[in-house]
């Protein structure tokens, strides 16, 4: 796959968004022993790869599968609440690799955060969904018109809502978006301030238990992409580029481990790490298909184009945004060759 690349910059988002996040949010993101990512590594020396994670998803897959064994570098894990906070860390040169949903990648591109997508996983079952209050009258996407909906702007939850609205011939202008931090979404929904909340399916049991009569809305099926990003500066250094490539191969193998070991994964990730009910966690996990990270695909790029146009249409992204800028074609070609040589699916 080779895509035409054009460099774009959206300085307004940098000043209005990422700078604010850097000032207020980065210190709250856990990582290593001091709660933030480590300082930049010495050029040409790959002692450590600085990894951005969410909910320890990458860390547990790598460690439980044993894929960190034999790595010629140390993995420095840094946990973030969401993609926008991780984008801020990338902009501050505090990460080499990071994991997030597909929507924040668009915002990173618009803000010229210095990252590219290097691997993706596609699931036919979307991780996001919409929960509605008992008396909301919301049964499907068309019923969202005129409603107050809680979400976190700039995250995959935001992109998911726009896609659902579009499927019903609606846009963001047809609803009232209540923008709150990810950690405040459950309490905002429980307070009765909104008619619905865009959230992740795996917390559905907890959401509905806290809100008597609430339920999951029947939504339009959409593809869901997880994205592994790499800093452009990391790929520009030959030694670090090789380390990133090695990590992606290890993570691709590790990403298949949960479905191969469902009992241990549910216990370690959902129950022990996320503190979820064992039965509810197992029911959710069994409902998800097996996925695996591969080099960037055309399906991901096309999905980003559609989502980018929806976000541009409501003024969240610049109309000049070029999705092709999210890909380093040369590195993607190298990665595809490495996957083939290693016998991994692409």
Residues 207, 232 within the same domain: no
Is 5 within a domain? Answer: no
Residues 326, 201 within the same domain: no
Residues 187, 244 within the same domain: no
pLDDT at res. 38: 41
Residues 21, 101 within the same domain: yes
The pLDDT tens digits along the chain (346 residues) read 443 333 333 333 323 333 232 222 222 233 333 334 444 444 456 899 999 999 999 999 999 999 999 999 999 999 998 888 899 999 999 999 999 989 889 999 999 999 999 999 999 888 899 999 999 999 999 999 999 999 998 888 999 999 999 999 999 999 999 999 988 999 999 999 999 999 998 888 888 888 999 999 999 988 889 999 999 999 999 999 999 999 999 999 999 999 999 999 999 999 999 999 999 999 999 999 999 999 999 999 999 999 999 999 888 899 999 999 999 999 999 999 999 999 999 9
pLDDT at res. 164: 96
Last residue of a domain, one of 194, 216, 238: 216
**Could you give the CA distance from residue 312 to residue 307 in angstroms, rounded to a whole number?**
9
Residues 145, 237 within the same domain: no
**Residue 192's domain spans which residues?**
128-216
Cα Rg of the chain (Å, integer): 20
3 near 324, Cβ under 8 Å? yes
DSSP 235-275: HHSHHHHHHHHHHHHHHHHHHTHHHHSHHHHIIIIIIIIT-
Identify which of 211, 74, 25, 49 has the alpha carbon closest to the alpha carbon of residue 132. Answer: 211
pTM here is 0.80
297 near 145, Cβ under 8 Å? no
Residues 203, 227 within the same domain: no
Q: What is the number of structural domains in the chain? A: 2
pLDDT at res. 314: 87
* CATH number of domain containing 145: 3.40.190.10
Is 96 within a domain? Answer: yes
Residues 20, 44 within the same domain: yes
Is 317 within a domain? Answer: yes
**Could you give the CA distance from residue 41 to residue 105 in angstroms, rounded to a whole number?**
24
pLDDT at res. 124: 87
Give residue-wise pLDDT tens across range 264-282. 999 999 999 999 999 999 9
First to last CA, the chain: 12
Residues 172, 154 within the same domain: yes
Is 312 within a domain? Answer: yes
> β-strand 176-179 against 148-151: which pairing, if any?
parallel
Is 280 within a domain? Answer: no
Is 185 within a domain? Answer: yes
pLDDT at res. 222: 87
- Upper half-sphere CA count for residue 285 (Cβ side, 13 Å): 21
Last residue of a domain, one of 165, 186, 216: 216
Identify which of 123, 64, 145 has the alpha carbon closest to the alpha carbon of residue 293. Answer: 123
Residues 181, 228 within the same domain: no
Residues 20, 81 within the same domain: yes
Residues 306, 328 within the same domain: yes
Across the beta sheet with 48-53, the strand order is: 74-79, 48-53, 97-101, 224-231, 115-123
**Could you give the CA distance from residue 323 to residue 159 in angstroms, rounded to a whole number?**
15
Number of residues that make up the chain: 346
Residues 162, 190 within the same domain: yes
Is 70 within a domain? Answer: yes
**Could you give the CA distance from residue 274 to residue 58 in angstroms, rounded to a whole number?**
14
Is 4 within a domain? Answer: no
Last residue of a domain, one of 216, 238, 271: 216
């Amino acid at each position: 796959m080779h895509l035409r690349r054009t460099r774009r910059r959206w300085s307004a988002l940098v000043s209005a968004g990422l700078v604010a996040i850097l000032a207020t949010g980065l210190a709250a993101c856990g990582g290593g022993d001091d709660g933030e990512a480590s300082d930049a590594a010495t050029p040409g020396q790959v002692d450590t790869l600085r990894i951005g994670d969410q909910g320890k998803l990458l860390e547990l897959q790598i460690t439980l599968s044993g894929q960190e064994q034999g790595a010629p570098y140390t993995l420095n894990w840094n946990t973030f609440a969401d993609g926008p906070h991780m984008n801020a860390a990338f902009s501050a040169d505090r990460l080499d690799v990071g994991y997030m949903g597909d929507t924040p990648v668009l915002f990173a591109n618009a803000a010229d955060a210095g990252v590219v997508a290097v691997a993706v996983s596609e699931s036919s079952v979307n991780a996001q969904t919409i929960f509605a209050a008992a008396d909301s009258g919301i049964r499907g996407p068309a019923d969202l018109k005129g409603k107050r909906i809680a979400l976190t702007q700039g995250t995959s939850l935001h992109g998911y809502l726009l896609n659902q609205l579009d499927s019903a011939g609606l846009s963001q202008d047809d609803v009232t978006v209540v923008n709150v931090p990810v950690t405040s979404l459950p309490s905002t929904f429980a307070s009765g301030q909104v008619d619905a909340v865009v959230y992740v399916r795996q917390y559905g049991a907890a959401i509905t238990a806290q809100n008597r009569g609430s339920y999951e809305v029947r939504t339009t099926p959409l593809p869901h992409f997880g994205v592994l990003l790499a800093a452009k500066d990391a790929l520009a250094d030959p030694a670090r580029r090789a380390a990133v490539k090695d990590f992606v191969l290890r993570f691709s193998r590790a990403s298949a481990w949960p479905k191969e070991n469902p009992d241990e994964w549910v216990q370690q990730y959902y129950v022990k790490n996320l503190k979820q009910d064992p039965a509810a966690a197992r029911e959710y996990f069994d409902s998800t298909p097996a996925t695996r990270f591969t080099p960037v695909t055309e399906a991901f790029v096309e999905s980003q184009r559609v989502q980018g146009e929806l976000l541009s249409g409501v003024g969240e992204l610049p109309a000049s945004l070029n999705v092709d800028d999210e890909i380093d074609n040369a590195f993607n070609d190298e990665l595809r060759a490495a996957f083939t040589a290693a016998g991994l699916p692409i």
